[in-house]
Amino acid sequence: ITDPEELETEYPFFESRVDNKERTVISNLRPFTLYRIDIHSCNHEAEKLGCSASNFVFARTMPAEGADDIPGPVTWEPRPENSIFLKWPEPENPNGLILMYEIKYGSQVEDQRECVSRQEYRKYGGAKLNRLNPGNYTARIQATSLSGNGSWTDPVFFYVQAKTTYENFIHLMIALPIAVLLIVGGLVIMLYVFHRKRNSSRLGNGVLYASVNPEYFSAADVYVPDEWEVAREKITMSRELGQGSFGMVYEGVAKGVVKDEPETRVAIKTVNEAASMRERIEFLNEASVMKEFNCHHVVRLLGVVSQGQPTLVIMELMTRGDLKSYLRSLRPEMENNPVLAPPSLSKMIQMAGEIADGMAYLNANKFVHRDLAARNCMVAEDFTVKIGDFGMTRDIYETDYYRKGGKGLLPVRWMSPESLKDGVFTTHSDVWSFGVVLWEIATLAEQPYQGLSNEQVLRFVMEGGLLDKPDNCPDML
């Protein structure tokens, strides 16, 4: 899939026959694109005669260098109102799909940046730069795909002429009544929001149940070792990374867990020595969920050590930790952040695209996450954001969860109305949670629905309440 508008398209399958071999190379594929590959074993040349049922796998091709570069020149056209319109050709065969374009333009005084979504580009065939001061300008454009950023184009030069005095007078006469209307409209909206919040604070605290009891445990949950089992002597722990929901998490080295790598730096999750057998089995079963996944934007499971004690789960090492902590470290007021600046709009959109790609993969595999949040996304050394391991971060951010009426812990601030009402979790409820994650990215991981208790959030969301738009949040995000 290389275009969001193609999500509902039925794609043709291309077939090839492999004789007397157990491997083959598929060529001429799009770069950084997810493919489904079906394999049938046949013992007769006739089509579909004597063939087995298919086995399939999802696989993503590697990114291609230069695939996201914009080919050809950037051109411009003058427009009224001190504006110009920029046009450029799209990359012909990008890495996955193009998320957005970033325009860097400026005069001799300073450079400015503007983001243009792929949808906006396809609608208008370019982008309009408005309210430019008279003078000489240069502009360059960069494409951003699922794989990252392309190269900047060569600069294009243009000139904006000054307005006449008569034009300025006409513009003032038009803008003045509009400004008055906007101020009045803003006051009306503020009064409406204040009235809604005051009414919601008066609601009662009736008992609300929103999920089944997660404490249920049966013999069917018993963990059985399989091909993911790793010998304990192949694992070496080096240093503590932090406390996980079941026990300590360490950085270490594992031998032979990644093909063609003698040793691999990994994250090693452990279970507390005092944990019950039920907790150890739950720990392994939650890790086993990830055995089915192989996606660039989903954290990989590398192995399991279930024989002996302590029980270990070997994961892909995400050196920059969870997205929530990473976003908070970028706040200007953080003492331990003397260098890093808050993420740009293009970086925020790239984060969102990476998370969306991982969630789309899970959906394609008929998996509902049920707990998507910034705390459950991880950041790699190269700043790639991936969907984290599932069910293992609950105790790290204990205050993000709420236990209602003796039932299981609920991430109420990330849950959709239907999940809160009926305990129903679907792809649609994951999309709701993804919207809250976008809000977290825009606010550098503030707590959703600040000022409301968990009980009030339950009531507020079930009655149709929505998060307020963050201050200074771009419309595109």
Superfamily of domain 323-462: Transferase(Phosphotransferase) domain 1 (1.10.510.10)
> Which residue type does 178 have?
I
Instruction: Decide if 111 is catalytic.
Output: no
Does the pTM surpass 0.85? The reply is no
Beta bridge partners of 105: 112, 139
Helix (H, G, I), strand (E, B), or coil: what is residue 391?
A: coil
Q: Nearest Cα to 71, choosing from 13, 143, 148, 125?
A: 143
pLDDT of residue 47: 60
Q: State the pLDDT at residue 333.
A: 73
Residue type, 307: Q
Q: Which of 322, 357, 371, 430 is catalytic?
A: 371
CATH class of 219-316: alpha beta
Range(s) within the chain of domains with CATH label 3.30.200.20: 219-316
In whole angstroms, what is the distance from residue 184 CA to residue 429 CA? 36
> 31, 41 in Cβ contact below 8 A?
no
From-to residues of CATH 1.10.510.10 in the chain? 323-462
Give tens-digit pLDDT for 308-320: 888 899 999 998 9
End-to-end CA distance of the chain: 22
The C-alpha atoms of residue 250 and residue 266 are separated, in whole angstroms, by 8
Instruction: Report pLDDT digits (tens) over 401-432.
Output: 555 555 557 889 999 999 988 888 889 999 99
Distance CA 233, CA 90 (A): 52
DSSP state of 179: H
Question: What pLDDT does 311 receive?
Answer: 85
Tell me, what amino acid is at 144? T
**Spatial CB neighbours of 416, under 8 Å, sequence gap ≥ 6:** 428, 429, 432, 433, 461
SS3 state at 215: coil
pLDDT of residue 164: 57
Instruction: Quickly count: other Cβ atoms within 10 Å of residue 359's Cβ.
Output: 24
Give CA separation, 445 vs 321, 433, 470, in Å. Answer: 14, 14, 11
Q: Which amino acid is at 321?
A: G
Residue with tokens 């392994």: 284
CA distance 418 to 44: 51
The token pair that represents 396 in the structure block: 């790290």
- Is 386 a known ligand-binding residue? no
Beta bridge pairs of residue 115: 102
And the tokens for 400? 């993000």
Average pLDDT per block of 10 residues along the chain, 477 residues long: 52 81 88 89 70 85 93 90 91 91 84 89 92 88 92 90 64 81 88 69 38 43 78 90 78 90 91 78 80 90 87 90 91 67 88 94 88 92 86 49 58 91 88 95 93 92 92 81
Contacts of 248 (CB under 8 A, 6+ apart): 240, 242, 270, 272
Q: Is 197 exposed, middle or buried (0-12, 13-18, 19+ CB in 10 A)?
A: middle
Q: Report the alpha-carbon distance of residue 246 to residue 249 in Å, rounded.
A: 9
DSSP bridge pairs for 257: none
Spell out where 88-194 has E strands: 98-106, 111-117, 127-129, 135-145, 148-149, 156-160
